[in-house]
Chain A
Amino acid sequence: MADAHKEPNYIGVFWWLLALTILEIAVIYVPMARMIIVILLIGLALSKAALVGLYFMHLKFERLTLGLIALTPLFLCIFLILMISPDIHP
């Protein structure tokens, strides 16, 4: 049960989110290959989303099945990308 767990350090999570946001903004000004910047930005965004989901939404302390329900849209997105990408003609 979610209420039974020890309360996470919410202020610590806040500082992590803030640091990752500053890092994201810094990344776009660093002279690097565009592909590397995009990969870094997606990695940082997913890390921030995971922090919010795991600690603020308490998924870390919930049952695994609930976590799988929460992840379902991500699978849908991957499916959509794989299905539609072949139709891109720039």
Chain B
Amino acid sequence: MSEAAVMHAAVEPAESPLTPESWGKLGMWVFLAGDAMSFGGLIVGYGILRNGSSNWPVPSHVLGINLTAFMTFLLICSSVTMVLSLSAIKRGDQSGLKKFLFLTVLGGAAFLGLQVYEWTHLIERGMTITGNPFGAALFGTTFFVLTGFHGCHVFGGVVYLSCVLVQALRGRFGEQHHNEVEIAGLYWHFVDLVWILIFTFVYLV
């Protein structure tokens, strides 16, 4: 080994200190922490604006709780299929990986379809980003910004997981090589976790 190579190895550790499996996993965690701050800022902003308003509508009277409860159920199911796909490939089960990844993508796509249906229905009832017939104008603004920002994440997740599925169909993953599946899973579970909070704060509280 050359002297330069020895020096380089001394400076840069071969494995990530927090996630020995891969640097990619640590990278995803740092990204998610930053992304969570964006969501956190939006949710806190929503709470502050709502507390400061005297005519904020009761969300459960305006928004479809049954539909969004089903959407929550769909995302939880897709989180389970995601974790089962990782579990399958860790055992070397290729067909399990493909089947559960496909179901996860399907769950995400169904969620997006239902969100489009919900938005269309609310817009038809006069709720827009600038105003609504139910009360405070900011009710519509915060609703569309929060659920829209989350919806963009779901869309990104569906595209991301579809790419992972294509790689799985090409047989790229195995018992010893599944970091990409785990990293994609972290993103998808994060999207589920954020929806759990949005469902509570925007629809139920």
Interface residue ranges, A against B (CB under 8 Å):
1-3, 7, 10-11, 13-14, 17-18, 21, 24-25, 27-28, 37-38, 41-42, 44-45, 48-49, 52-53, 55-57, 62-63, 65-66, 69-70, 72-74, 76-77, 80-81, 84-85, 87-90
Interface residue ranges, B against A (CB under 8 Å):
18-21, 26, 29-30, 32-33, 36-37, 39-41, 43-44, 47-48, 51-54, 60, 65, 69, 72-73, 76-77, 79-80, 82-84, 87, 90, 185-186, 189-190, 192-193, 196-197, 199-201, 204-205
Q: Give the chain A neighbours of B189 by CB distance below 8 A.
A: 52-53, 56-57
6 residue pairs, one from A and one from B, having the closest CB atoms: A73-B36, A45-B200, A77-B40, A88-B52, A56-B189, A80-B44
Contact at B200–A3, with CB atoms within 8 Å?
A: no
Contact at A21–B72, with CB atoms within 8 Å?
A: yes
Count of A-B residue pairs with CB < 8 Å:
122
Contact at A88–B48, with CB atoms within 8 Å?
A: yes
Q: Give the chain B neighbours of A90 by CB distance below 8 A.
A: 51-54
Q: Give the chain A neighbours of B196 by CB distance below 8 A.
A: 45, 48-49, 52
Contact at A63–B69, with CB atoms within 8 Å?
A: no
Q: Give the chain B neighbours of A28 by CB distance below 8 A.
A: 60, 65, 204
Q: Give the chain B neighbours of A27 by CB distance below 8 A.
A: 204
